[in-house]
Chains A and B, each alone.
Chain A
Amino acid sequence: MIAINKNKIKEMADNLSESGTGRSLWKDARIRFMQNKAATLSLFILAAIVLFSFIGPYFAVWSYEKIDWNAMGSAARVGMPSIESGHFFGTDDLGRDLYSRVIQGTQISLMVGFLGATVAVFVGTLYGATSGYLGGKTDQIMMRIVDILMSIPYMFVLILLLVVFGRSIGMLFIGIGLLSWLDMSRIVRGQTLNLKNKEFIEAARVTGVSDFKIITRHIVPNLLGIVAVYATLLVPGIILAESFISFLGLGVQEPSTSWGALIKEGAGTIRYDTEWQLLFPLAFFVVSLFCFYFIGDGLRDALDPKDR
Chain B
Amino acid sequence: MINYIVKRIGIAIPTLLVLIAVSFYLMHAAPGGPFTSERPLPPQVLANIEAKYGLDQPIWRQMFSYLWGVLTEFDFGPSYKYHDRSVNEIIAQGFPITLKYGFWSFIVAVGVGIPLGAIAAIRKNTWIDYLAVGVSIGAQVLPNFVMAPLLIIVFTLWLDWLPGGGWNGGSWQYLIMPVIALSTSYMASIARITRSSMLEVLNTNYIRTAKSKGLPTKIIFFRHVLKPSLLPVISYLGPAFVGLITGSVIIDMYFSTGGMGYFFVNSAFNRDYSVMMGITIVVGGLTILFSLIADLLYAWVDPKIRY
Contact = CB atoms under 8 A, between A and B. Distances in A.
A171 interface: no
Nearest to A166: B31
A8 to B, nearest CB: 40
Contact of B291 (A144, A151, A290): A151
Contact of B279 (A156, A240, A248, A260): A156
B234 to A, nearest CB: 16
A267 B245 contact: no
16 contacts: A148-B18, A151-B238, A151-B284, A152-B18, A152-B284, A152-B287, A153-B280, A154-B242, A156-B279, A159-B264, A162-B268, A164-B27, A247-B145, A248-B250, A264-B145, A289-B140
B14 interface: yes
Contacts of A293: 137, 140-141
Interface string B186-209: 000000000000000000000000
Contacts of B149: 267, 270, 278
A137 interface: no
Contact of A156 (B14, B27, B280): B280
B283 A260 contact: no
Interface residues of B, number: 46
B5 interface: no
Interface of A: 144, 147-148, 151-157, 159-165, 240, 243-244, 247-250, 260, 263-264, 267, 270-271, 278, 282, 285-286, 289-290, 293
Q: Most chain-A CB neighbours within 10 Å: which of B146, B265, B273? A: B146
B26 A164 contact: yes
A237 to B, nearest CB: 10
A120 to B, nearest CB: 16
A4 B36 CA distance: 95
Interface string B267-307: 01101010011011001100110010000000000000000
A238 B142 CA distance: 15
A171 to B, nearest CB: 12
Contacts of B269: 249
A152 B15 contact: yes
Nearest to B17: A148
B19 A152 contact: yes
B62 interface: no
Contacts, number: 105
A180 to B, nearest CB: 12
Contacts of A285: 141, 146
Contacts of A286: 141-142, 146
A243 B23 CA distance: 23
A232 to B, nearest CB: 14
B71 interface: no
Contacts of A152: 15, 18-19, 22, 284, 287
B110 interface: no
Interface in B196-231: none
Contacts of A163: 30, 268, 271, 276
A243 B145 contact: yes
B279 to A, nearest CB: 7
Contacts of B276: 159-160, 163
A155 B243 CA distance: 9
A290 B26 contact: no
A72 B143 CA distance: 31
B51 interface: no
Contact of B11 (A147, A164, A267, A271): A147
Contact of B143 (A159, A240, A248): A240
Given A148-B11, A163-B268, A153 B145 contact: no
B245 A153 contact: yes
B6 interface: no
A162 B242 CA distance: 19
Interface string B113-150: 00000000000000000000000010011110110110
B48 interface: no
B57 interface: no
Contacts of A240: 143
Contact of A155 (B19, B140, B146, B249): B249
B65 interface: no
B159 interface: no
A151 B141 contact: no
A164 B29 contact: yes
Contacts of B146: 263, 282, 285-286
A284 B270 CA distance: 33
Contacts of A249: 269
B246 interface: yes
Contact of A160 (B18, B26, B143, B157): B26
B253 A248 contact: yes
Interface in B55-94: none
Given A156-B264, A248-B249, A290 B145 contact: no
Contact of A148 (B15, B137, B152, B242): B15
B99 interface: no
Given A290-B137, A293-B141, A248 B265 contact: yes
B46 interface: no
**In the complex, the 4 A-B pairs of residues with the closest C-beta atoms, listed nearest first:** A267-B149, A289-B141, A155-B246, A164-B30
